[in-house]
Amino acid sequence: MTTKPKVLISDKMDPNAARIFEIRGCEVDVITGETPEQLIARIGDYDGLAIRSSTKVTKEILAAAKNLKVIGRAGIGVDNVDIPAASAQGVVVMNTPFGNSITTAEHAIALMFALARQLPEANAQTQAGLWPKNGFMGVEVTGKTLGLIGAGNIGSIVASRALGLKMKVAAFDPFLTPERAVEMGVEKVDLDTLLDRADFITLHTPLTDQTRNILSRENLAKTKKGVRIINCARGGLVDEEALKDLLDSGHIAGAALDVFVTEPAKESPLFGTPNFICTPHLGASTNEAQVNVALQVAEQMADYLVNGGVTNALNMPSLSAEEAPKLKPYMALAEQLGSLVGQLTHDSVPRISIHTEGAAAELNMKPIVAAVLAGFLRVQSDSVNMVNAPYLAKERGLEVREVKTEREGDYHTLIRVSVKTEAGERSVAGTLFNNVEPRLVELFGIKVEAELAGHMMYIVNQDAPGFIGRIGSLLGENEINIGTFNLGRREAGGEAVLLLSVDSAVPEGVLKQACEVPGVRMVKALSF
C-alpha cells in the first residue's frame, strides 16, 4: 500500500488549500502559530511544508525536516526561507509569483489616484471637523504620461489599466522588445527619457544589483518638476532620503510607497512629509490574491509530491534522474554563457539563439536552453531559474531559437549563444575541458579562453604594449587581488579583450579609474 505524502500548512491560508491537497492525494494538517521549537519537533513527519510569510524556515528547521521534499510559499517573496540550506538538503522551494499580480497592479493605480487628488490629507482634515474645499487642488490623470519602470507581468497590467484611463505610457525595461511594446500599446524609452517626460512614475521591477537605487538622488533630480512617484515593488529601488529632500523642495509633487528599505518601517525620514502617502506593504493584500496564491501553492506542491511535476521552483532544474549526471556540466556551461551575454548586453534583445555542436548536439536541448535563459534573465531578477525562465522569456516576447550541428568543429563539443541587438548579432561560445570543466572559448568574435567564475572584470581596449601592467598596477593600488588574466585580440594593435578574475567585487570607483586608463574603451564588472 502506497503511503500518501504528508503536508503541513503552518501559516493561515484559505481553507480550500487543504481541500486541494486532500483531493490530489495528500494527507494534510493545518497547525499555525507554532514557535520555531515546536515546528522543529513536528516537521520531521512531513514531506511538504506550505507557508506564507510568518513561518521562518531556518537551517535548524530544515535540519530537523528529515523527510521534507518541498516547501511552498503562497506568494512571491521567499526571504523567510533559507534557500541555500534547502537546496543543499535536496528540498525544492516553490513560490507563486503571479498569483497577486492584479492585486499589486491595482494598488499602484489606487496610490496614483490618491496622489493625484491628495485623498489621505483631504480625508484627515475633513474628519477633523475642517472643510478644506479650497485647500486641495488635484490633477487629472487623463492625458498624462505614466512612466513605467519594469514592463513584466505586473507592469504590463498597470500599463493596460493606465491606457484605459486615457494616459500615455512610456516604459523602460531592458528586456522589453519593440514588438512587445507595440503589443502592450506603450512607448519603449530609455531611463533618462522616461525621467524627463513622465508625470507619474511607477516601479515594477525586482531588487537586483542592476535595479538597486534606480531612482537615486541623481536620477530623481532628472525628473520632470511636479512628478509623482509610486513604488509597490521592492524597497531599495528609491533613495528615500533624496525623495524626502525633493518633496520638501517641491520638485517632486507627491510620492507613495508601499515598500521600504527596512520593513517593518517603524521610522522613516519620509514620515510626516507633506504630499507623502505610505501603506504597510499591502500590494498583495486582497481576499482574491490570498485565495489565488493559496490554491496555486497547494496545486503546485501536490503535483510535485504525487506526480513529480515542477512549477515555479526556485532551486531545481527540470531533469530526469537518468539525464542529470551527463547534462549537469553542459547546463553549468550554458548558464554561464547566458549570464555573460546578459551582463554584457544593454540593448533590448528580441531574439536569442542557442547553437549546439558535436557531442552537445546529441543531448536533450530543453534543459540546456532553460539554463541559458536562466543565466540571461537572472541579470534582471534573482528569482529566475531553469523552471520559470522559458515562461518569462515568452512573456517578454523573447524569440528563442535552437540549432543543432552534429558534426564537430574546432572542439568536440560546443555551445554558442547569440543575441540579436540593435548593434547586430553578438555571440559567445564555450566548451567542456575533460567533458566536465566549462570554459569560454570565444567572446564577440574574439578567441579567448577563460573560466567564468566568481568576480570578474571585462575590459575592451586597444592592443598596445604595457596595457596589462597598467591595469595590474591600478588593481594592486586598490588592494584588489587578481586571480587570472585571460586575453584575446582580433589582430595585433587592434581591438582586444581582457577578462580578469579577482578575489572580491570591484568597487564602482575602481571601474571608473579603469575607464580612464589610456586605450580602454569599455569596463564592466561581472559576477558568476
Q: Which amino acid is at 134?
A: N
Rounded to whole angstroms, the Cα distance separating 98 from 252 reads 32
Active site residues: 234, 263, 281
- Given a contact cutoff of 8 angstroms between Cβ atoms, the answer to whether 349 and 380 are in contact is no
Which single residue is written with the C-alpha cell 587578481? 482
Provide the 8-state DSSP code for 360: G
As a whole number of Å, the CA-based R_g of the chain is 25
- Given a contact cutoff of 8 angstroms between Cβ atoms, the answer to whether 358 and 474 are in contact is no
Rounded to whole angstroms, the Cα distance separating 95 from 14 reads 16
- Identify the burial level of 170 via C-beta atoms within 10 angstroms of its C-beta, where 0-12 means exposed, 13-18 middle and 19 or more buried: buried
How would you label 369-387 residue by residue, b for 16+ Cβ within 10 Å and e otherwise? Answer: bbbbbbbbbbbbbebbbbb
27 forms beta bridges with 6
Reduce the secondary structure of 61-79 to three states and give it as a string.
Answer: HHHHCCCCCEEEECCCCCC
Rounded to whole angstroms, the Cα distance separating 26 from 484 reads 52
Q: In this structure, how many other beta carbons lie within 10 angstroms of the beta carbon of residue 269?
A: 12
Rounded to whole angstroms, the Cα distance separating 310 from 314 reads 10
Q: At what angle do helices 287-307 and 101-117 cross, to 10 degrees?
A: 160
* 445's grid cell: 568574435
Rounded to whole angstroms, the Cα distance separating 220 from 266 reads 24
- Given a contact cutoff of 8 angstroms between Cβ atoms, the answer to whether 329 and 438 are in contact is yes
Annotate 372-400 with DSSP letters as a single string.
Answer: HHHHHHTTT-TT--TTTHHHHHHHTT-EE
Q: In this structure, how many other beta carbons lie within 10 angstroms of the beta carbon of residue 469?
A: 9
- Given a contact cutoff of 8 angstroms between Cβ atoms, the answer to whether 258 and 279 are in contact is yes
Distance (Å) of CA 71 to CA 1, 11, 21, 43, 387: 25, 12, 14, 12, 16
